Amino acid sequence: MNAPLRVALFGALTVQIGDRTLPDSVWRSRQEQRLLAILAATRGRVIAAGRLCEWLWPDSDSASASVNLRSAISNLRRVLEPEADRASRRYILTRSGGYAWNRESGAWIDVDEFLTLTEPLAGGQTTGSMEQGEADLERAITLYRGDFLEDEQELAWAAMERERLRARYLDALRRVAEIKLDRGDPMAAAALAGRGIAIAPLAEPLWRILMLAQARSGDTAGALQSYERYRHLLDHELGAAPSPQTQALHMAILRGDPGSYAPAAVSSSHENRHDRQRIEPRSPRAGQRSPGSAATPIVGRQEELALLHRWLADLDRRSGGMVTIVGEAGIGKTRLIAETLRTAAERGAFTLELRATPLDQGLPFAAVGEMLRPLLRNVPEYRLRQLPQFALAQIADLFPVLRERLPDLPELPDVPPEERRNRQIDGLCELALALARTLPLVVALDDAQWADDATLATVGVLPVRRRAGRCCSSWHTAPMN
């Protein structure tokens, strides 16, 4: 039996086969290590060969870069499975136009496990018992040995992924620290908050947790000093003052009564007065916006959530539309849209959630493929045959599994790349509209700033190609410029 493969991307890249950690001498070049990191980090998505050449050999001509890429792929396969008779394809798959990591290979990747363990944070959800959720987050925190590929500071694609993973790590630290506070363990909460502050000095919710933990452990002077440190830092860096929530905690500590400060205020990273968020419904029939009064467990976002609920309540009378949720990173856009999608599903809508990542840029239909691929592979065949067959044929080159499952799909003529992309967008939209003729359809795209052009075009076209009687709405989140 082949020895298990373990790939660590947090901190410096580390590869272990069985009990043996591979030395740097096994790699013929730094580009081979970077290639492994890219493939392992993309969770099975196909990365176009041209994009890999552009990232790894930017100064080489196309022909030379292609030769270098094929050579690097071949050597990677030999290194990762040295006992194979020839270059094994167990871990690295060759796909049309590019390469992908084989998620069925059994290899363990720390980033993959980290994202799985922290997935509820991305949607503002909790799964299982509180104890299980806490255990998962603590395991994720342990996996974070350092920033993603911290020795690759000059690579743009790595920098974007590094920021995304760091934000998820900080959120995990905050959640576990809140649990420790609730359980009467302020020392553990303070230690967790301190770890987060060390890499994100302006993370105000973590400063509040630190202050409250210090006060609850009897270190009033330390809590007041922490407030002053943060106040000076914020003034120096941004010329701003702490938020009202942080000032309220400061006053409660000064009064010697930190217990009068509501713990919920500590846990809400969405209340910072420096945060701004804009929600802009756009539709020919959108009408005047009104806040509404729907109750929601999301602290500090009742008005926005009520607005989105009003939008959903009118689904059957709309003929399409788009909602954009805009704001700085970390203020709860993902949580807001997840709560709205949950409400939409409860009201009978069919919901599809796409998530873009930094590595999606330049990869056509990356977010769409990530969401649809497992559905098309696992949905019963009779349901596939209920969908428009010509539309399935239009996207069959994006999803080869369709022709494996439906070999009688119509064959389409070969066309130039731009025309092929338009045909694929048409097919995806026709499938979405077929679903929308049965149930209202809501499509959400999280982190739209990282999405590829083809995905953005598809999501943008959906509200235009509407059908009377049913709504096909698209939603997306993006940071404020």
Are 136 and 2 in contact by the 8 Å Cβ rule? The answer is no
pLDDT for position 338 = 79
Q: Measured in whole angstroms, how far is the alpha carbon of residue 165 from the centre of its chain?
A: 9
**Torsion-angle region of 368 (φ positive above 0: left; ψ -120 to 50: alpha; else: beta):** alpha
Residue 292 has pLDDT above 70, yes or no: no
Given pLDDT bands bounded at 50, 70 and 90, which one contains residue 188? very high
Q: Which domains does the chain have, with CATH numbers?
A: 5-108 (1.10.10.10), 118-267 (1.25.40.10), 279-479 (3.40.50.300)
Between 266 and 203, residue with greater pLDDT: 203
Other CB atoms closer than 10 Å to residue 380's CB: what's the count?
9
3-state percent helix, strand, coil for the chain, nearest multiple of 5:
50, 10, 35
16: burial class by Cβ within 10 Å (0-12, 13-18, 19+)? middle
Closest CA to 58 of 147, 156, 137: 156
Alpha carbon distance 217, 258 (integer Å): 11
Give every CB contact of residue 329 below 8 A, 6+ residues apart in sequence: 163, 167, 479
pLDDT at position 129 is 53
Residue tagged 């994202």 (tokens): 115
Tokens (6 digits) for 427: 């097919």
pLDDT mean across residues, the chain: 79
Asked if the model's pLDDT at residue 273 lies above 50, the reply is no
| pLDDT exceeds 50 at position 109 | yes
Alpha carbon distance 176, 141 (integer Å): 9
Mean pLDDT of 300-312: 74
How does DSSP assign 84-129, residue by residue? Answer: SSS---SSEEEETTEEEE-TTS--EEHHHHHHHHTHHHHTT---S-
Can you tell me the distance from the alpha carbon of 354 to that of 465, in angstroms, rounded to the nearest whole number?
19
Measured CA to CA in angstroms, residue 160 lies from 45, 99, 114, 165 at distances of 17, 21, 17, 9
Q: Confidence class of residue 96 from pLDDT cuts 50, 70 and 90? A: confident
Neighbours of 99 (CB within 10 A): 21
CA–CA separation, 338 vs 341, rounded Å?
5
DSSP letter string over 23-59? PGGG-S-HHHHHHHHHHHHTTT--EEHHHHHHHH-TT
pLDDT for res 404 = 86
Indicate the pLDDT class of residue 143, thresholds 50, 70 and 90.
very high
pLDDT at 305 over 60: yes
Report phi then psi at 407, rounded to 5. -65, -15
Q: Coil, strand, or helix at residue 147?
A: coil
In this predicted model, what pLDDT tens digit does every residue of 17-37 receive, in sequence order?
988 999 988 999 889 999 999
| Stretch 415-433: mean pLDDT | 87
Mean pLDDT of 106-118: 92
Q: Between 372 and 380, whose confidence is greater?
A: 372
DSSP string, 246-268: HHHHHHHHHTT-GGGS-HHHHH-
Determine the Cα–Cα distance for residues 304 and 401; give it in Å rounded to an integer.
40
Q: What is the pLDDT of residues 445-456, one digit of tens each?
A: 888 888 888 888
Round to whole Å and give the CA distance between 479 and 481.
6
298 compared with 422, residue with greater pLDDT: 422
Phi and psi at 98, nearest 5°, equal -175, -160
Task: Work out the percent of the chain whose per-residue pLDDT is above 70.
Answer: 79
* Strand order through the sheet with 5-8: 20-21, 14-17, 5-8, 108-109
**Res 330: pLDDT:** 64
Instruction: Lowest mean pLDDT of 144-158, 225-239, 259-273, 389-403, name the range.
Output: 259-273
If pLDDT is split at 50, 70 and 90, which confidence band does 319 have?
low
Q: Distance of CA 403 to CAs 342, 370, 373, 395, Å?
A: 33, 18, 13, 10
Q: Is the pLDDT of residue 339 over 70?
A: yes
Q: What is the mean pLDDT of residues 131-156?
A: 86
For residue 179, what pLDDT band results from cuts at 50, 70 and 90? Answer: very high
Among 94-108, 109-123, 350-364, whose mean pLDDT is lowest?
350-364
pTM for this entry: 0.56
Q: In 3D, which of 436, 435, 459, 437 has the Cα closest to residue 368? A: 459
Yes or no: say if 121 and 168 are a contact pair by the CB < 8 Å rule: yes
245 or 86, greater pLDDT: 245
What's residue 210's pLDDT? 95
| Dihedral pair phi/psi, residue 21, rounded to 5° | -90, 125
Average pLDDT, integer, range 257-268: 55
